[in-house]
Amino acid sequence: MSKVRTALSFAAVSALATGSLLAVSAVPALAADCVGGVDNDFDGDGVRDIAMGSPRDVVSGYDAMGAVYVSQSRTGESFAITQDQIGDLLMVDAEFGMAVSSYDGNGDGCSDLVVGAPGHNDYAGAVYVIPGSPEGLQLDGTSIYTQDSAGYPGAAEPGDNFGYAVAAGNTGSGEPFLIIGSPGEKIDKSWGEGAFHYSRGGTTQIVHQDSVGIPGATEKNDYYGSFVAATPTHFIVAAYGEAQGDKAGAGAVNIFSHKWTSGVPTSLGSIHQDTTGISGAAETGDEFGASVSAIAYRPAGSSTTGSLFAVGSPGEALRDNTAPWAGSAYTLYVSSTGKVTQHGYYHQDVTGVYGGAEADDAFGLQVKLAQNGDGAYATPETAMMAVMVAGEEGSNYGYGANAVFRFDTTIGGGDSYLVSGTYGLPTEAFEHAACPAPSSGKHLIIGNSIEGAYGVPWASLRAGSPVGDVIRFDLQGESNVEPNGGCSDVL
C-alpha cells in the first residue's frame, strides 16, 4: 500500500531546486440574497470568491495537516479552514486541501466548497462539502464523505487516496455532479491501479479501467483518477502513471460525457501520445496527464459548444531526448457530438514561445484554462491558458514562471511570460512558480499560501505589458496554521 506521491507540484518543484450525496431532484427557489449563475460564489453576491488549498500546512503542530484559505467578496474577509473547524479530527498527513472545487450542490444559488483530504485516516481519504450562504461558507453544515459513507461503492482502505482529485459542477440542465478521484485504489491486484466516484442525480458509481465500456486495464501504478476536470457536458480523468507498451509512466487521459451508458458515464476514449492525431510519442516518464483543466468552449465559426481540455506532460523530453523533463502541454477539443481532436501542442521550443526547452523545466506541471469575462462558454477571443514552468531558472526573481497563451492567434504569437516583478507583480511575489488558476472576469489568479494570491489583469497578459492594476489577496489564515509552501488550486 503506497500512497500516491504527495502533491505532484510540491514533489517536482523540490526535486528541481458520512452520509448520502448532496443531490437535488428539483431545484428550489434561490435564497433571498443568492444571485446564482456565478462559479465559486460562496456568499452569493454575484462575484467569484477565492479558495486555495495548501495541503502541506502545519496545523496546531500536526505536519501536513493542510488548510484551505478563503477570501469572500461580500465581507472582504480572509480566513483559513482546517479539519477541526468543520467537525473532524486533526491528523498528521491528512493533506486537507490537496484538491478543491465548487458547485451549487443544493440549488440555493450559492456555491458550495468541495475539499479533498486524501491523507485522512492513513491515506484512505475523505472529501468535505461546505455549503455556501448569503453569510458565506457555513462550516457547521459541512458534510464529510468517505468510501464508507452510505451510497458510496467500495470501502475506505489505507492507501486509497480518496479525494486526491475532485471536480464538481452543474450540467447544462443545472443538475449537480461530483467527481472524486482515488488514484491509490486497489481494484484487481495492486494498490495504485486507481478509480473515481461519479455522483449525479442521487446515484454514485465507482469507475475504473476494468469497468464495462472503459478503455484500458487496471495495472499497478496507473494512478487512474489522479487528476480530474469537468465542464457542463464533458469531463476528463487522468492516469499519469499509465504505461504505453513498455513505456512505464507515459501517461494517458480518459474523456467522458456526463450521459450514462451501462451504469457508468459514457467514455469517449482514451487519449495518449501514441493516439493517432496527437503530437509527440509516448515515452517512459512523460507523465501525460500530470495536470488537467477544462472550460466550455465554442470554436470560431461554430454554432455549437463543446469542451476544451488542457493536459500537461511535464516529464516530456525534448531536443532528441537531451532535455529530459523539459515538458509540454496539449489542448484537446471535444465537440458537442463527442469527437476528440488535438487543438494545440505547446512547449518552449515552439517558435515565438518565450525561453527554450531545457532539462528539468517541467513545463506543464500545472495547466489552467480560463475565460476572460463571463458567459456560458469561452471563444478564441476570450479563452486563455496558463502553464506552470516550475523548474525555469532566471537571473532574477528566483525560480519558476507561468507561460500564458491566448487562442486568437498562433501558438507563440501572443503568449506572455509571468514571473515575479513583471506585469505589476512585486519582485518577491512568489518563489518557484506560483500555482496558476483561472478566474472568470478580469484577472488571472496566481498564488501560494505564504505570499497570498495575486490577480493579474487578463488585459495586461493579452497586451504583453501592464495595462491594469494587480490585486493582492492577503490569505494569512488563522494563528494555529503555519503555511508550509505551495497551493493545490485557486478558484
Q: What is the pLDDT along the chain (491 residues), one digit of tens a residue?
A: 445 554 443 333 333 333 333 333 333 444 467 888 888 899 999 988 888 888 988 888 889 999 998 888 887 878 899 999 998 988 899 999 999 999 999 999 999 999 999 999 999 999 999 999 999 999 999 999 999 999 999 999 999 999 999 999 999 888 999 999 999 999 998 999 999 999 999 999 999 999 999 999 999 999 999 999 999 999 999 999 999 999 999 999 999 999 999 889 999 999 999 999 999 999 999 999 999 999 999 999 999 999 999 999 999 999 998 999 999 999 999 999 999 999 999 999 999 998 899 999 999 999 999 998 878 899 999 999 999 998 887 644 456 889 999 999 999 888 999 988 899 988 877 766 678 876 667 888 887 656 678 889 999 998 888 988 898 876 665 657 876 666 676 66
What per-residue confidence (pLDDT) applies to 16?
33
Task: Please state, in angstroms and rounded to a whole number, the distance separating the CA atoms of residues 461 and 466.
Answer: 8
What per-residue confidence (pLDDT) applies to 54?
87
Q: Name 300's Cβ contacts closer than 8 Å, sequence gap at least 6.
A: 379, 380
Q: Does domain 117-126+145-482 have CATH number 2.60.40?
A: no
**Three-state secondary structure readout of the chain:** CCCCCCCHHHHHHHHHCCCCCCCCCCCCCCCCCCCCCCCCCCCCCCCCCEEEEECCCEECCECCCCEEEEECCCCCCEEEECHHHHCCCCCCCCCCCCEEEEECCCCCCCCEEEEEECCHHHHCEEEEEECCCCCCCCHHHCEEECCCCCCCCCCCCCCCCECCEEEEEECCCCCEEEEEEECCCCCCCCCCCEEEEEEECCEEEEECCCCCCCCCCCCCCCCECCEEEECCCEEEEEECCCCECCECCCEEEEEEEEEEECCEEEEEEEECCCCCCCCCCCCCCCCECCEEEEEEECCCCCCCCEEEEEEEECCCCECCCCECCCEEEEEEEECCCCCEEEEEEECCCCCCCCCCCCCCCCEEEEEEEEECCCCCCECCCCEEEEEEEEEEECCCCCEEEEEEEECCCCCCCCCEEECCCCCCCCCCCCCCCCEEECCCCCEEEEEECCCEEEEEEHHHHHHCCCCCCCEEECCCCCCCEECCCCCCCEC
- Which residues lie across from 53 on neighbouring strands? 68
Task: Please state, in angstroms and rounded to a whole number, the distance separating the CA atoms of residues 337 and 246.
Answer: 33
Task: Please state, in angstroms and rounded to a whole number, the distance separating the CA atoms of residues 469 and 490.
Answer: 19
- Which residues lie across from 237 on neighbouring strands? 228, 254
Quote the radius of gyration of the chain (alpha carbons, Å): 20
Residue 154: CB atoms within 10 A of its CB come to 19
C-alpha cell at 256: 467522458
- Tracing cell 515515452 back to the chain, one arrives at 283
Phi, psi for 137 (deg, rounded to 5): -60, 135
What per-residue confidence (pLDDT) applies to 442?
84
Q: Domain map of the chain by residue range?
A: 117-126+145-482
C-alpha cell at 126: 475523505
What per-residue confidence (pLDDT) applies to 387?
95
What per-residue confidence (pLDDT) applies to 20?
30
Q: Name 444's Cβ contacts closer than 8 Å, sequence gap at least 6.
A: 370, 384, 386, 404, 418, 436, 437, 438, 455, 456, 457, 458, 461
> Alpha-carbon dihedral of residues 194, 286, 102, 67, nearest 10 degrees?
90
Q: What pTM did the predictor assign?
A: 0.92
